[in-house]
Amino acid sequence: MFPRSPPIEAARRYRDRIKAAIPSGDKFEPLMTCYLTDSTLPSEVEQGFLQGVFTACKLYPANATTNSSHGVSDINKIYPILSVMEKIGMPLLIHGEVTASDIDIFDREARFIDNVMAPVRKQFPALKLFLNISPPKKRHSMS
């Protein structure tokens, strides 16, 4: 994981280093993701995807998990990126939890779905979303 959204060339070089370490004959193919931050540029996301460097973008809410201090502080800040991703068919991989101190730690995932995902789904209905953390009851209600 990069601490900031990497430039396309940096991601390409990193992917090449991974490939160089793969044993001959192994069919492993590294898939690079773009770590979203408040300052990630929509044009970089689009170009990285269209050039085949980025497979998806990864959304970590800021300070929600290990190494997420540079993550997104407010989902509204990346709406222009989500619009581009929806248009080009680029998947969004989501670590789903809120970090507000007034929300019980056991309710953070459910509140993320209610407070963040519901509005995103309404605003970007064709955006490909993959939520990697969610309570089972809420996960089924999003179908």
Closest CA to 48 of 88, 95, 75: 88
- For the chain, report the end-to-end CA distance as a whole number of angstroms: 29
In this prediction, residue 104 carries a pLDDT of 80
What is the tens place of the pLDDT at every residue in 3-50? 444 579 889 999 999 999 999 999 999 999 998 999 899 999 999 999
CA distance readout (Å), 110 to 32, 76, 133:
28, 19, 10
Helix locations, 1-143, DSSP H: 8-20, 42-50, 79-88, 108-112, 118-123, 136-141
Closest CA to 3 of 58, 41, 42: 58
Domain containing residue 129: 8-141
Residue 3 covered by a domain: no
The CATH code of the domain that includes 29 is 3.20.20.140
Residue 2 covered by a domain: no
What is the tens place of the pLDDT at every residue in 87-101? 999 999 988 777 777
SS3 21: coil
Number of structural domains in the chain: 1
What is the tens place of the pLDDT at every residue in 66-117? 666 677 889 999 999 999 999 999 999 988 777 777 878 787 778 888 888 8
Q: Is this model's pTM higher than 0.85 or not?
A: no
Dmax (CA) of the chain? 52
Q: What is the mean pLDDT of the chain?
A: 85
In this prediction, residue 102 carries a pLDDT of 82
In this prediction, residue 124 carries a pLDDT of 98
Residue 60 covered by a domain: yes
Question: Is residue 129 very low, low, confident or very high in pLDDT (cuts 50, 70, 90)?
Answer: very high
Whether residue 134 is predicted with pLDDT greater than 50 in this model: the reply is yes
